[in-house]
Structures are given as structure tokens and as C-alpha cells.
Amino acid sequence: MKYRNFGNGEKLSAIGLGCMSMSHAYGVPDDKESIATLNYALDLGINFWDTADVYGSGKNEELISNVLVPNRDKIFIATKFGFTQREGSNGSNMVFDGSPAYMKTAVEASLKRLKTDVIDLYYAHRIDPNVPVEEMVGAMGELVKEGKIRYLGLSEASANSIRKAHAIHPISAVQSEYSLLTRDVEESVLPTCKELGIAFVPFSPLARGLMTNTLNLSTLADNDFRKKLPRYQEEYQDNNQKLAQGFADLAASIGCSPAQLALAWILKQGDNIIPIPGTKKRDKLKDNSGAPDIELSTGNLSQIDELLAKYPNTGARYDESAFKMVDNS
């Protein structure tokens, strides 16, 4: 595994591990395979793991603790706070609470579930429009002083919010969706992170499986999160299945898998970028881990651009309600 610089001399695996799917959003959990996958990540040198308190309502943090505790010095653990259920919603309606008061209870709960004394990277999962970002980040900074967290992160934050936050306390990482099909961060967020020396952490770098050419959009289970997202609906199915097949053919001609090609493209976009593809299966983790070894030529990058231009009707990444949670301030 190759490594990238982070924070004050940390060396993080160039490919991290997103753990959400082990407990949340994508089908039925398989704890046995997930734990095997976490242990295999250590064998592969993947030391940057990402979770959140909302994944499985805390169950994902508890699951990770089984491997984290006996290997604490080998793992750089990131988790997030802020999403909570609206009272009386029966879990169907999430709201975001970025208040210092809620944060104080959330971090204690995450520490307890992870069974650790300190969280390496603590993200605000979104930007709360009702709480000034300076106030939220100031309170997060207090957690650093208390020794409960080491680095601060933001998720789905605008360049303006990143700058405001960074002026209060150093922001070490910004996480947002970024893939061949989701590139809005290129306009201002990526340049801002580069300028300020902030790591950028793409989630869903494989377009939630679409770019692997293994996702059959017509057979997604009813409990699969993607069923609610425009990009994975029938309207875009023909375009996206043809795009995925074309991308797989291109990857084969280069001598790698589609997942490796998609991740290699992201790594090429900046040395401060550390993608966190999610999986709960060892074979997919192994495949993803090979991406840093793929060298892409200028010609390869042009071929990718040409393919994307051929199939432009990919659909939006979120529906209207989810976009309301994305900071555009």
C-alpha cells in the first residue's frame, strides 16, 4: 500500500475504507464478513477507516470496535456527528444538529461505542444552517484541548464555510462525494482545500458501485439506499449501464479493474486526496487496494473524458430533500 501525508506527519493509506455499508443503507449486514474485511484491511496496510454515529444507529462504531481495540495503534479512525432522528419520526426522518450541546453528548457516545479514549478525526457530518460554523468548530476545538479528538473535519461543506471554520481552528479534512460522475467540488472546494493544506476525502468514489460495472440497476433491493437516488432510477438506467460497460472495457484495455481505474483517476486529481471506497467484502477491498499502483497516462485520461462525454445523462446524485442537507452558503 502507498501512503499519503496527513496532518502533523501522519501517513494514511492512499485508499481508505468506508465502513457505512457494513451496517447501513446497502442491503443486509453481514457482521462476520465485515469483521473479516476489517482484519484484512490491516493485512493490506489500509489504516484509514471511516464511520459515523448514524450508521446503523451506532452499530457500525460498535462493530468496528471489535477490531479497533486490539489494533488501536495501527488504525486512524474517523467518525462523524450531527445526524439525529426527528422526534416521533420512527427513524424515517433525519435532521442535523450541529450545536455544541449536542456535540458534547455525541462525542462521548462515539468514544464509548468505539471503546477508545480518543478519536483521530472527528467530522461534523454536515453544516447546520441554524448554528454559525464558527461556533460549531470552536466547540470541536475544545474537544481537541480535552484530548478527546485529534483532528477536525467537515463533510459536504462549501468553500466559504471551510474558510470560516479554518479561521477558528485548523480543519484537517473535508469529506464530500466525488467521483467521475460527481465533480461539483472541483469548482471551489478542491482548490480551497489545496490552498489551505486540507486533505480532501471523497466518499462514494465509485459512484455507489455504478463505475464497477457490477451494479444491476433494475434489481436493487427495496431496502437499498440507492433506490431513492435519481442516478439509480429507470430514467437513467440505459445511459448508465452503457457508461459502466464502456468504462469496464477501457479498464480492461489498460490492464486493471473498473474500480481500480475509477480510484486511480481520483488519486490523480491531487496528492492531498484520499478516497474512502466503501465495502463489506474482502474481495472488493483487495481490488480497491490495487488502485494506487495504476499509472494513468495523458492518453488514458483523455479516453475517460471522451467516454463520459458520450454518456452524459447520468442523473443527479441526490434527490431534493438530500440536497437540502448539502451546504451551499
We report the CATH number of the domain holding residue 42 as 3.20.20.100
Could you give the residue numbers annotated as active site? 55
- Residue 61 CB-half CA count within 13 A: 23
Dihedral through CA 90, CA 91, CA 97, CA 103, nearest 10?
100
User: Does 228 reside within a domain?
Assistant: no
Q: 328 pLDDT band (50/70/90 cuts)?
A: confident
pTM: 0.95
**Amino acid letter, residue 3:** Y
146 falls within a domain: yes
Host domain of residue 44: 3-208+259-294
Q: Does residue 313 form part of some domain?
A: no
* Band of pLDDT at residue 276, cut at 50, 70 and 90: very high
pLDDT for res 87: 55
Give percent above pLDDT 70 in the chain.
98
Residues in CB range of 162: below 8 A, 6 or more apart: 154, 171, 174, 189, 192, 193, 196, 198
286-289, Cβ contacts within 8 angstroms, sequence gap of 24 or more? 286/40, 286/44, 287/257, 287/259, 287/260, 288/15, 288/259, 288/260, 288/263, 289/1, 289/15, 289/44, 289/45, 289/46
Task: State the Cα–Cα distance between residues 154 and 216, nearest whole angstrom.
Answer: 32
**Averaged over 165-194, what is the pLDDT?**
98
User: Does residue 63 lie in a domain region?
Assistant: yes
The contacts found for 86-93 with CB under 8 angstroms, 24 or more apart, are: 91/57
The residue-averaged pLDDT of 211-226 equals 85
* 248 within some domain: no
Average pLDDT, the chain: 95
Asked if the structure places residue 86 within a domain, the reply is: yes
Residue range 138-157, pLDDT digits in tens: 999 999 999 999 999 999 99
Q: Report the domain count for the chain.
A: 1
